[in-house]
Amino acid sequence: MAIVGKPLLDIDIQSEISAEDEALTIDPEKQEAEQTEEQEDKEATAKREPPPPTTLSAIRHEPRVSETPSPPPPPPPTPPSSSHPPQASSPHPPTDRHQTLATPAVRHLASTLNIPLSSIRGTGKDGRILKEDVHTHSQRSRSPPSSTNPEPHTTLPLTPIQLSMYRSMTASLSIPSFLYTSTYDYTHLSTLRSRLNTHLSHLSPPGPKLTHLPFLIKAVSHALHQYPLLNARLEVPSEGSEGEKPSLTYRPQHNIGIATTTPAGLVVPVIPNVQSLSILEIHTQLLRLSSLAAAGQLSPPDLAGGTFTISNIGSIAGDVVAPVIVPGQLVILGVGRRKRVPVFAEGGEVVGRELGTVSWAADHRVVDGATLARFSEVVRGMVEGEGVLLSGLR
């Protein structure tokens, strides 16, 4: 479709130039000097031509002159071709408005991009501006300028909590551990929790709203009664001590630490004597420790004496995690996110179930995979069995 004021077709021919563009390449001062020089050459030529032949009468009346030929007149001085001194030629001629060699297509492209041709350095023959030159200039003008004064780096010392994390996790690297994962069905536990929350809401005053974590903590404590090894401590002789051998210290108290993130870093407050607490008491302790951790008011006793650790990473995100064993312990549990998914029931029908992945890490120096798998199955039975968890609440 033809548009008024727009060309029908742009033809980019690098070897030709229009008369209009060629006229722009002529220097007016140089043209005027050449015309002056040409006029003076014509006048000098006219002076050197012999005079026309005279008549006989004129010869008779002329006075006698010497026959010695007169010297020719000196040639006129050559005017300078330009008022400016000669300059050395450069591979790229100046790109003023009289010397911007470009085809109409290139000029149209530069006009579309709102780029004056005088600001573009041509790389073509005789400094001709090519389309590539226009695109290169456009990209350079759009690129942000590089920062000449970058912001300096800031070095800060570790906070006390970060320093404690550094020491603890560095010591954990010396523990040869293995990972074991399993999937738990929280459907029945979620139903039980909802019923208990409904009952607590009708009390006067209303009781706290329970989460899944207190039930899982109590299930781990119940399973530790059957597998006390996983609550023990491995005593490793110090270097240089001769005759001493590694030993295990069994601890009857189930002091379960809960990995908690705070603005200052990761902390692991401990709920002591979980084996003697009810689910409501465990939930109350969780609320207390969480509030103190958020305010940065945890005391040293709140962080000491842990025998087993649980990391509830699923409350943030993630399904499978590789938890790091806390020094002085043998096992750690990472709880993944719960989600409702369709599964096949025993009769073949598809039903919705609330599933979640748990990840265990254990010290492989004294704990084997079979023991950890059996321990996990005991915990799973407590979580999935209707009424089984309630029978072991105390």
- The residues carrying an active-site annotation are 364, 368
- Listing DSSP states for 158-182 in one string gives PPHHHHHHHHHHHHHTTS-EEEEEE
Fill in the amino acid letter for 146: S
Closest CA to 324 of 98, 114, 165, 123: 165
How many CB atoms lie under 10 A from the CB of residue 190?
15
Cα dist. 316→89, 310, 311, 327 in Å? 71, 14, 11, 25
State the Cα–Cα distance between residues 394 and 387, nearest whole angstrom. 13
CA distance 275 to 231: 12
Tokens of 60: 């008779």
Pinpoint the alpha helices (H) of the chain: 19-24, 28-48, 56-61, 104-112, 131-142, 160-172, 187-201, 212-226, 279-295, 369-384, 388-391
Distance CA 224, CA 221 (A): 5
The two tokens of residue 371 are 């023991």
User: Which tokens hold the place of 118?
Assistant: 């005088």
Cα–Cα separations (whole angstroms), residue 155 to 158, 219, 352: 10, 45, 52
Q: Which residues of 74-89 are buried (b: 16+ CB within 10 A; e: fewer)?
A: eeeeeeeeeeeeeeee
Which positions ≥6 away from 305 have C-beta within 8 Å? 253, 255, 270, 272
3-class DSSP state of 156: coil
Per the DSSP assignment, residues forming a β-bridge with 311 are 334
